[in-house]
Amino acid sequence: MNSTTITPTVTVPDAAAPALGDKDFAAPTGRASGVGTGGLEVSALDRGSRLEQMRAGTLGSIHSWELVTAVDGPGTRMTVFFAGCPLRCLYCHNPDTLKMKNGESVTSEELLHRIKRYKAVFNATGGGLTISGGEVLMQPAFAATILAGAKELGIHTTIDTSGFLGSACTDAMLENIDLVLLDVKSGNPETYKKVTGRELQPTLDFGRRLADKDVEIWIRFVLVPGLTDDPANIETIADYAASLSSVTRVEVLAFHQMGRDKWASLGMKYELEDTLPPTAEEVERVRDQFRARGLTVY
């Protein structure tokens, strides 16, 4: 089925009133269940033709989309969340995007139609398209089609990636990418493995390749107390970021517990139940480590 996911909040009269917590006001429900693919026509296909079209790059597995400002690149952007990710980050705040099979099937034609609709919005705001996830490079053929289509429309393109699957990004695809938000989750390979379950090296290689091709990069780093906050770890990332000539900005994102409920609702084990967000001072300390290398840091 094909639309914004709304779990019917109601059903039985005289059901127990929702828990009000420490407020005397029952807040609206809805947003927390995910933003959904509403507005996009979803294709119903058998498994065989689904896979065939995905390989051809004309069909993708989409978790959701939204129009956002100032968080996923410059201006107002249509951020499309692809479903499926090779990493299993302990702090993932979108665990509902981890599995490709949980996404909705959307054709490239349908998605590009929607992207085109927002061209005036992108023009007005200096925005564009951002493909996020999940991991955009889990569906390289589909990503390539969408990026090429967006460029053809004259739209600014961004991908938000861990870089782990950087080798799946062809040079031809890079031609169609204006900005990469490169999530460097750790500078220390052991920590990286602990956080994501995977190797660090592919990310470092991908960033290097982007710099060589002069593709603009924003480095992103999530500061998780007790996990990624070792000053030596951050020094390594900062050195790496400073070594990439096309990095124009570093964003230090403070870990938060906003994804906690999603893990529970998915029946998945969440390791960071008791982890506290970093203090403002800690975040500033980390930013200063990047700033010390002359980087623009937020």
| Binding residues for other proteins restricted to 4-43, rule: CB under 8 A | 4-6, 8-13, 21-32, 34-36, 38-39
Residue 163: CA count within 13 A, CB half-sphere: 26
Q: Which of 194, 209, 256, 293 binds other proteins (CB under 8 A)?
A: 256
Q: Any contact of residue 44 with other proteins (CB under 8 A)?
A: no
Q: Which of 45, 90, 121, 174 binds other proteins (CB under 8 A)?
A: 121
Estimate to the nearest angstrom the gap between the alpha carbon of 171 and the chain centroid.
22
Closest approach, Cβ 242 to other proteins, in A, equals 20
Tell me the CA end-to-end span of the chain in Å, nearest whole number.
40
Rounded to whole angstroms, how far apart are CA atoms 52 and 18?
A: 46
B/e letters for 260-275, b = 16+ CB within 10 Å, e = fewer, are eebbeeeeeebebeeb
Q: Any contact of residue 45 with other proteins (CB under 8 A)?
A: no
Estimate to the nearest angstrom the gap between the alpha carbon of 267 and the chain centroid.
21
Closest approach, Cβ 136 to other proteins, in A, equals 13
Bridge partner list, 78: 67, 129
Nearest to other proteins of 33, 209 (CB atom): 33
Nearest to other proteins of 61, 94 (CB atom): 94
Closest approach, Cβ 252 to other proteins, in A, equals 10
Nearest to other proteins of 8, 267 (CB atom): 8
Rounded to whole angstroms, how far apart are CA atoms 238 and 200?
A: 15
Q: Give the pairing of strands 247-254 and 216-223.
A: parallel
* CA proximity to 254, closest of 232, 219, 283: 283
Q: Any contact of residue 1 with other proteins (CB under 8 A)?
A: yes
Nearest to other proteins of 3, 167 (CB atom): 3
| Binding residues for other proteins restricted to 181-220, rule: CB under 8 A | none
| Binding residues for other proteins restricted to 262-291, rule: CB under 8 A | 277, 279-280, 283-284
| Binding residues for other proteins restricted to 158-177, rule: CB under 8 A | 160
Rounded to whole angstroms, how far apart are CA atoms 219 and 247?
A: 7
Sign of CA dihedral 211, 234, 97, 279: negative
Closest approach, Cβ 219 to other proteins, in A, equals 14
Size of the site for other proteins (CB under 8 A): 65
| Binding residues for other proteins restricted to 126-145, rule: CB under 8 A | 126-127, 132
Given a contact cutoff of 8 angstroms between Cβ atoms, the answer to whether 185 and 196 are in contact is yes
Longest dimension (CA), the chain: 64
Closest approach, Cβ 94 to other proteins, in A, equals 7
Cα distances (Å, whole numbers) of residue 123 to 60, 161, 175, 188, 224: 26, 24, 21, 40, 36
* Binding interface with other proteins (CB under 8 A): 1-6, 8-13, 21-32, 34-36, 38-39, 64-72, 75-76, 79, 93-94, 117, 120-121, 124-127, 132, 160, 251, 253-254, 256-259, 277, 279-280, 283-284, 298
